Amino acid sequence: PSMFEPVHGSAPDIAGKGIANPIAQIWTGAMLLEHLDHAEAAAAVVGAIERVVEEGKTLTRDLGGRATTREVAEAIAALV
């Protein structure tokens, strides 16, 4: 059996505020795709994450940006 989960501490203080960084969760999905032999799809997701981070326009506060969780997720999704 396999398990795919972004591992980090719980953050109840930011729940529902739209400020969490979604990259670990999205990358976990890419790892699942890779495990299921969908290497091309996994590479597309990882490539989109890398491009968003490299461009630096749509980043959450922890990465020095001002974007919301949704904005980062949508920026990544738009590139997949």
Judge whether 29 lies within some domain: yes
- pLDDT in the model for residue 7: 80
Confidence at 9, pLDDT banded by 50, 70, 90:
confident
**What is the tally of structural domains in the chain?**
1
pLDDT tier, 8 (very low <50, low <70, confident <90, very high otherwise): confident
The answer to whether position 11 is within a domain reads no
Q: Is 12 part of a structural domain of the chain?
A: no
Q: Which domain holds residue 43?
A: 19-79
In a domain, 70, yes or no: yes
Asked if residue 73 belongs to a domain, the reply is yes
In a domain, 14, yes or no: no
- Integer Cα distance of 22 and 19 in angstroms: 9
Whether 1 maps to a domain, the answer reads: no
Flag whether 27 is in a domain: yes
pLDDT tens, position by position, 34-68: 999 999 999 999 999 999 999 999 999 999 999 99
Contacts of residue 25, defined as CB under 8 A and 6 or more positions apart, other chains included, come to 6
Model confidence over 10-19: pLDDT tens digits?
889 999 999 9
Give the residue ranges of DSSP H helices in the chain. 23-35, 39-55, 69-79
